[in-house]
């Protein structure tokens, strides 16, 4: 087990364009500490995002890691073993002109901004909850902790470098609650070494991430990295014990859905030996489509199918089951 906690100087804010923090072999287990989306800048409700947050430098990434043997066209496999909150508090904010219920730098308008507001959530590890405390009214409620990673990605193709605010074909800031312990992520490799990184831990997040930020917290992530030669998926895929998923990230949101749905249909078609029209029909009747985010540079939509409703088949040679077993062999974390 390799453990890595970046110093503040080691934070990176892009996918691509930076030198690796270290080289790892396929099969390696890693324990990675990542700071929250704000780099820890919002610690009290008096810390306002307009003063403390520069949107060009959010979602500090832990990484990138150079995976030995990974070449363009290969499939990087990341199995999330465990996600544990690394602080006893988390923060969320309504950042002016950022989020789903406000004009933004893209959906521009001339209206006045919403009030810049910060919420601080307290973690209760025994109860496994975070407490929401209203800021403009009188209410407090404990919400279950459901840890997830907002950003998991590799270096993009074609020499591009993208902000860690962006989700796209290379993964990145997809902001889906499906990115949780037990999930195996498949990402197409674009450059030698794949150069993956993770960050943007959420102690919980609603689908859509409506206000633009989740319950943002530092996270300790245990994962196993592996590699399948070739077979790069077109877009990020996730496998769990129960589901196959594909994630599209684009604009408008129907394009994100089209991407995710086509990726799932093709995956099911190839995996199960179904004609693409039959896979299209079957997925039409069984798919679940939870929205991931409607607030980032691209919107992300998850399209998923329950394995029990699909023809029996082992994706990527059954690597998910193997990694689940290996994760258990790591013992209590």
Residues 263-322 that bind a second copy (CB under 8 A): 265, 272-278, 280-291, 294, 299, 301, 303, 309-311
By CB under 8 A, name the one of 252, 325, 328, 332 that touches a second copy.
Answer: 252
Shortest CB 250 distance to a second copy, Å: 5
> What residues between 32 and 71 interact with a second copy by CB under 8 A?
56-57
Shortest CB 266 distance to a second copy, Å: 9
**Cα separation of 327 and 35, whole Å?**
24
**Cα separation of 233 and 248, whole Å?**
12
Q: Is residue 216 within 8 Å of residue 90, measured between CB atoms? A: yes
**Cα separation of 100 and 86, whole Å?**
28
Q: Is residue 116 within 8 Å of residue 94, measured between CB atoms? A: yes
By CB under 8 A, name the one of 10, 17, 45, 322 that touches a second copy.
Answer: 17
- Site pattern 161..180 for a second copy (x: CB under 8 A): xxx-----------------
Count of CB atoms situated within 10 Å of the CB of 26: 17
Q: Which lies closer to a second copy via its Cβ, residue 31 or residue 162?
A: 162
- Site pattern 177..216 for a second copy (x: CB under 8 A): ---------------------------xxxxxxxxxxxx-
Q: Are strands 61-67 and 22-24 parallel, antiparallel or unpaired?
A: parallel
Tokens of 114: 């919403």
Shortest CB 323 distance to a second copy, Å: 27
> What residues between 118 and 147 interact with a second copy by CB under 8 A?
119, 132, 134-137, 139, 141, 143
**Cα separation of 40 and 287, whole Å?**
38
- Binding range to a second copy, per CB under 8 A, among 9-17, 43-51, 222-230, 313-321: 9-17
Instruction: Examine residue 231 and say whether the peptide bond preceding it is cis (omega within 30 degrees of 0).
Output: no
Residue by residue, DSSP assigns 195-229 as: EEEEEEEEEE--TB-TTS--EE--EEEEEEEEEES
Q: Which lies closer to a second copy via its Cβ, residue 5 or residue 163?
A: 163
Shortest CB 287 distance to a second copy, Å: 4
By CB under 8 A, name the one of 32, 76, 94, 223 that touches a second copy.
Answer: 94
Q: Is residue 44 within 8 Å of residue 120, measured between CB atoms? A: yes
By CB under 8 A, name the one of 185, 250, 300, 315 that touches a second copy.
Answer: 250
By CB under 8 A, name the one of 62, 92, 173, 184 that touches a second copy.
Answer: 92
**Cα separation of 198 and 138, whole Å?**
36
Q: Is 103 in the site for a second copy (CB under 8 A)?
A: yes
Shortest CB 223 distance to a second copy, Å: 24
Q: Which lies closer to a second copy via its Cβ, residue 1 or residue 101?
A: 101
Q: Which lies closer to a second copy via its Cβ, residue 1 or residue 113?
A: 113
Question: Site for a second copy (CB under 8 A): how many residues?
Answer: 90
Q: Which lies closer to a second copy via its Cβ, residue 35 or residue 175?
A: 175
Q: Is residue 196 within 8 Å of residue 28, measured between CB atoms? A: no
Closest CA to 236 of 162, 165, 314, 179: 179
Question: Could you say which DSSP state residue 155 is in?
Answer: P
How far are the Cα atoms of 9, 72, 191, 267 from residue 158, in angstroms, in the given order? 27, 11, 9, 24
């Amino acid at each position: 087990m390799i453990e890595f906690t970046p110093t503040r100087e080691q934070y990176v804010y892009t996918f691509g364009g930076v030198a690796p923090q270290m080289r790892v072999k396929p099969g390696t287990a890693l324990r990675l500490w990542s700071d929250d989306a704000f780099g820890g800048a919002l610690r009290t409700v008096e810390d306002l995002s307009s003063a403390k947050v520069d949107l060009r430098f959010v979602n500090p990434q832990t990484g990138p890691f150079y995976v030995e043997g990974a070449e363009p066209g290969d499939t990087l496999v990341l199995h999330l073993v465990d996600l544990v909150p690394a602080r006893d508090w988390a923060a969320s904010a309504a950042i002016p002109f950022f989020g789903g219920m406000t004009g933004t730098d893209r959906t521009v308008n001339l209206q006045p901004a919403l009030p810049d507001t910060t919420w601080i959530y307290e973690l209760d590890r025994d109860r496994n909850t975070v407490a929401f405390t209203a800021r403009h009214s009188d209410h407090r409620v404990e919400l279950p902790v459901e840890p997830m990673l907002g950003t998991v990605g590799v270096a993009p193709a074609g020499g591009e470098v993208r902000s860690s605010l962006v989700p796209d074909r290379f993964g990145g800031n997809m902001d889906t609650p499906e990115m949780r312990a037990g999930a195996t992520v498949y990402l197409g490799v674009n450059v030698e070494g794949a150069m993956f990184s993770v960050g943007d831990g959420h102690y919980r997040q609603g689908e859509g991430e409506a206000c633009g930020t989740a319950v943002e917290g530092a996270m300790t992530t245990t994962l196993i990295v592996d590699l399948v030669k070739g077979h790069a998926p077109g877009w990020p895929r996730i496998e769990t014990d129960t589901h196959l998923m594909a994630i599209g990230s684009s604009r408008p949101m129907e394009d994100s859905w089209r991407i995710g749905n086509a990726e799932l249909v093709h995956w099911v078609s190839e995996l199960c030996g179904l004609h693409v029209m039959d896979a299209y029909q079957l997925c039409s009747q069984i798919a679940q489509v939870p929205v991931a985010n409607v607030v980032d540079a691209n919107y992300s939509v998850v399209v998923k199918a329950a394995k029990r409703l699909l023809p029996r088949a082992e994706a990527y040679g059954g690597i998910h089951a193997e990694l689940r077993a290996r994760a258990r062999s790591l013992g209590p974390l």
